[in-house]
Each structure stands twice: as C-alpha cells, then as structure tokens.
Structure 1
Amino acid sequence: MSKQIQNPNFERHFQNYENLITAKGFKGTDTTYTTPVKEFLIWLESIGISSIKDVTSPNLVKYFEYLIERPNQKRAGILAGNTVKMHLLTLSMFLDNLLMLGELQKGFSIPRFSASDKNPREVLTIDEIRLLYQYSENPLEEAFLSVGYGCGLRRSELQDLNLSDVQLSTGMLVVRSGKGSKRREVPMSDLVLTAVKRYVIEYRPQFLGKEPEAAFFINPSGKRISGENLNKMLRKIIARTSNESLMDKEITLHCLRHSIAHHLMERNAGLDFIRGFLGHSYINTAYIYAKKNKQSKKLIQQVT
C-alpha cells in the first residue's frame, strides 16, 4: 500500500499496535498483521473520521462492504475470503490493544464470518420466481411463495408461523423464534401483503374446524403444514412449469430465501439491512450473497 496515515493520532495508534505485534513475535511476513490495520486507518481518514472514539459498528459494516468489493492488488478479481477474514482478525487485535491501553472505553463490533468457499444453494432468477407464481393453483400456494421468498423465511420459520404472527393491519410479519431463538419483524411488500390477505380472508377459513388453529399455513384437514410438505408443495409447483432449466436445479425452501438475499444485493441493499432482514447473527452468511453478486456482475461485464 503506497498511501500513508496522515492523522497523527491514528499514526500513534498504529505505532502502538506495531510494537505489540513485534513484542508478541507473531509468525508471518513483516506486514501480515500490520498492513490491514494501516489500510483501515487510511480508510477512516477517507470517510472523514479523525478520532478512533468516533468509530461505530455501522462504520465497520461499511468497511466490510469495502473489503469484499476491493480489487485484489496482486492478481485479478477481488479479495479471497481468507484474506478478508485476516483483515478482520487483525482489526480485532487492534481493537483489543486500544482497549488495553485505555484509548477506548468501549469497543465497536467487528463483523465475523466464515471464509468457507462452499457452494451456496441454488438461486432462482426473477423470471423463475414469476414463473412459480404463474403456475400456483390456489391462494395457499401464492401466500406460501410470497412469505418464503418475499419475506425470506427459513423452512422452520415457515412451518412454525402462526396466524397471529402475520399482522395485516401493519404489514409486518413477526418471526417469534428464528435461528438462535431470536425474534425479528419482517416488512411485507404490497405484493406479499395482497397474496397473504387473499389467503387469510378467502381461502384459509374454509379448512378450519370447530377448534381454533394457530398455524398460519394449514392443510385441507385444518392442521399445520409441516416443513417437508411445504417442500413437496414447492416441488409440485416447479413440476407444473415444465421448465427444464428450473427442474434441473435442486430447489428447496431455503433456495427461496437465498434468492431474495441475492436479489436484494443486486438492488444495492446494504449488507446490514440484509442481515437484519434474514435474521443473521453476523455478517458471515451475507458474505456469500455479496461474493456471488460480485461474480455475476463481472460475468455480465464480460458478456456485454
């Protein structure tokens, strides 16, 4: 990196950290543990932050976005996942040193993620999503697609969804106990809300028995539909399309969730918004969507 730190206080923080690395004798090249911190401090200067005490957790999310989009300076493409992971690791060490020296009383949250390059689940295109809606046969299937894709719910969250969780008056859907038993509220778009209202008002009541049923998605017997049967419903819709490309994909309920994440990223939604929308604890899983989106953009540029 050719640029240098200009802020005297940032330079002092960096020197203190560099002394720590030297004293600890960390293995690696001379700059393995220092260059990422230097780049971070220069980046802070570029966005107008002049005091380490002014750094916030949202700033770190923005920096994470910067890292996964930054061109690799040694080869073509963007930074590898392990390189991004190393940058964040060194920032954690830098933060610990600031806290130890009393430069900070309270730390900022540094994103965590897995640098695994495992293949993500299949992602449907917008046209394929529209095709699924086109071949839905009833309001149940339309509502199921709308909540699974439009709200990005997990299979367990779809299965456990109750009627009281879907607030038609406010347009919000409540996930009472997502992954890690975390509660979140998901906004329903106008299209999702229209499909959900039609299901709740016109379709669902005809299957209700004498006893109240809490479940949102119910079968003809008036009982909660299991996650496996929701998956079967999705496969039936796919089969109706007779679309070979769609049928060749290994589509599951979770693919709907991955698809909305991918489409949100294409529309330049921030990673922090996507994390909250999907109920992720950390940024790591959003990294998969960001990386996949960057690769698809590169391919489009090559083709055009």
Structure 2
Amino acid sequence: MEGYVNAFINYLAIERGLAKNTLESYGRDLKQFQNYMNDLNLEVEKDSNENMIQEYLKSLQTKGRAVSTISRNIAAIKAFYQYLVKENYLESDPSQSLDTPKVEKKLPKILSVHEVEELLKQPEIKSSGGLRDKAMLELLYATGIRVSELIALNISDINLDMGYVKCYGKGSKNRIVPLGSIAVKAVHDYIIKGRMKVVRTYDEPALFINHHGGRLTRQGFWKIIKKYAQEAGITKDITPHTLRHSFATHLLENGADLRSVQEMLGHADISTTQLYTQIVKNPLKEVYDKSHPRA
C-alpha cells in the first residue's frame, strides 16, 4: 500500500503539477487509509472493494470526523483508485460508485472597514519588525492574496513603480494583482528601512524575513495577526484568511464586478467567489425598503 501511495503522490506532483499543500493533504488522508488497511491486514490488489471502503468511511464517522473531512477523504480515495486503474495496477475501480456527501459551505467571517483600519494601525513602524508587519497586513488587504502566497513572495515578485505583485497560487498558477498606493508605500518603507537590517545574506530572495534572517513562516504570520487583532480590540475569531475574505467582500460592496474579484483572488471556479455575494448588503433590498409604501 505504501508504495502505491508514494507512486500516486509522485504522479500528482510531476504529471499533474499540484501544489505542495494539496500534495500534503492527499498524503495525510491516504496515510490514514493505509493505516486502516494495515491494521486489518488488507492488501490493495486482493481486498479493495466498495464495502471495505465504506467501512473505512464509517470508522471516520464513528470518530466524529466532520462531513467536510469525510468528503475530502472520499475525493482522495477516488483519485487514488483512478490512478491505480489508469496504471493497470487494478482492473476495476472499487470507489467508482461512492457518493461524496454535500458539504454546506459556511460563509467566511469578515471584518468591517473600521475593524480593518484599526488592525492596520497597530504595527509600530519604528522597528524593522513593525515595518514588516505593517507591509504584510497592508499587502494582504490591498490584494486579497492567500497567506501561503504572501510568505512565498520573493522581492523580485513586487513591482512598486508599476504598482503590482506577482504571486503563485494553487496548481502553480501565477497571477498579477494590482497594489494600492498605501500598500506600495508600506512595502517600500519596509524594504528600504526594515528588511536590510534583518536579512541574513545579500542574495536572500524572500520578501518577508523573520528575526533569524530567513523566510517568514505561515505559523509566524498567524501569531502576528492574532497579536494585532487583540491589540486592536477585535473580538472576532480571526484566521489567516480574514483579510482575504474582507478584501473580497469590501470590493463587491463598493461595486466591483464578480469576474474581476475572481481573477484577483485566483479562484478557478466563480462559484467560490459567489459565496461572498451572500455577505454583501443587497442594495435592491435597501431601495425597496426606502421606496415601497408597504415595505
């Protein structure tokens, strides 16, 4: 089983070019499935059938796994068996008739414009760390890029003269996102006054540097945004993607068209972007309430 899983992950990386985070997610889910089969002394070639897979999924339910987690596991297992059939390791796909449970999409939590302004005011720009934090928060809210994209940015990905950032999203797809003047200034000040003080070597490519002189991590950013949210008096449960969600919602509230927001966010499917329209205040409802005599 382990050999098949490793071969499958390599196939996804080389042939399909999937992103590192996606590969890790597939690997984690299939490792659990592998452990289940090993515990029962089951073999892929002889014991793979729909009933066995259903029993595994029931075991996840028994452990209290969320519907979204089970749905993700089904997707991983189906892709794994499709690969085994494609490579002639199996004659038929035992996962073919598995139904993926419908996952109810939760509306993302956002900050109000006032809360965003309070958050962005918090970093003290007298230190290199404060300049970096200010630049990161302004850049996130100005572009809506993912945190994984933010920390992966190299200094060569920023063009301050033209006002844009080039980032690499899911599936190794890159896109160009415009930068506003405030974000441009914050990033410029960080590069000139802050980054040079902490960078370890002259040829370090990473834009955002930790206090050791290397690339900042996702965990490092998580601590940073939590700290500033607390200092800003924000009681909402903030995640690393909160500014991304707020960026999209505020754009739509101010009249941006859905396709442009989709392109800036790097969503492959516009239905993902449409989720934000459920948060946006409906101007038709406001017009109706103000105008209709029996509203």
TM-score (norm 2): 0.58
Distance 1:235 1:272, change over 3 A: same
Percent of aligned positions with the same letter in both sequences? Answer: 34
Match of 1:63 in 2: none
Distance 2:256 2:103 in 1: 23
**Pick aligned residue for 2:231 from 237, 240, 245:** 240
Distance 1:121 1:127 in 2: 18
Distance 1:301 1:162 in 2: 49
SS for the counterpart of 1:174 is: strand
Match of 2:216 in 1: 225
Post-superposition CA distance 1:228-257 (Å, at most 9, x none): 11011000111112x2xx22x111121110
Q: Which amino acid aligns with 2:152?
A: D
Distance 2:212 2:177 in 1: 29
Match of 1:197 in 2: 188
Q: Which amino acid aligns with 2:120?
A: Y
Distance 1:269 1:151 in 2: 14
Match of 1:292 in 2: 279
Structure 1 residue 142: Cα displacement = 0.9
Q: 1:10-159 alignment to 2 at 5 Å? A: 117-137=104-124, 138-159=130-151
Match of 1:160 in 2: 152
CA contact (8 A) 2:208 2:216 kept: yes
Distance 1:156 1:169 in 2: 24
Structure 1 residue 136: Cα displacement = 1.4
**Pick aligned residue for 1:186 from 157, 177, 180:** 177
Post-superposition CA distance 1:34-62 (Å, at most 9, x none): xxxxxxxxxxxxxxxxxxxxxxxxxxxxx
Post-superposition CA distance 1:74-101 (Å, at most 9, x none): xxxxxxxxxxxxxxxxxxxxxxxxxxxx
Distance 2:120 2:188 in 1: 16
Distance 1:298 1:116, change over 3 A: farther
- Structure 1's consecutive aligned runs of 4 or more residues displaced over 6 angstroms after TM superposition are 299-304
Distance 2:196 2:258 in 1: 39
CA contact (8 A) 1:148 1:253 kept: no
Distance 1:301 1:228 in 2: 46
Match of 1:83 in 2: none
Q: Which amino acid aligns with 1:132?
A: L
Distance 1:252 1:299, change over 3 A: farther
Match of 1:37 in 2: none
Residue correspondences, number: 185
SS for the counterpart of 1:293 is: coil
Distance 1:273 1:302, change over 3 A: same
Structure 1 residue 169: Cα displacement = 2.0
Distance 2:151 2:254 in 1: 29
Distance 1:299 1:255, change over 3 A: farther
TM-score (norm 1): 0.57
**Pick aligned residue for 1:258 from 234, 245, 250:** 245
Q: 1:204-223 alignment to 2 at 5 Å? A: 204-223=195-214
Distance 2:215 2:256 in 1: 34
Structure 1 residue 149: Cα displacement = 1.3
Distance 1:155 1:229 in 2: 11
Distance 2:105 2:222 in 1: 23
SS for the counterpart of 1:130 is: helix
Q: Which amino acid aligns with 1:174?
A: K
Structure 1 residue 212: Cα displacement = 2.1
CA contact (8 A) 1:150 1:189 kept: yes
Structure 1 residue 297: Cα displacement = 7.5
Q: Which amino acid aligns with 2:144?
A: G
Q: Which amino acid aligns with 2:223?
A: K
Distance 1:297 1:136 in 2: 39
Distance 1:223 1:280, change over 3 A: same
Structure 1: any 5+ residue segments left out of the alignment? 1-114
Distance 1:150 1:216, change over 3 A: same
Distance 1:296 1:141, change over 3 A: farther
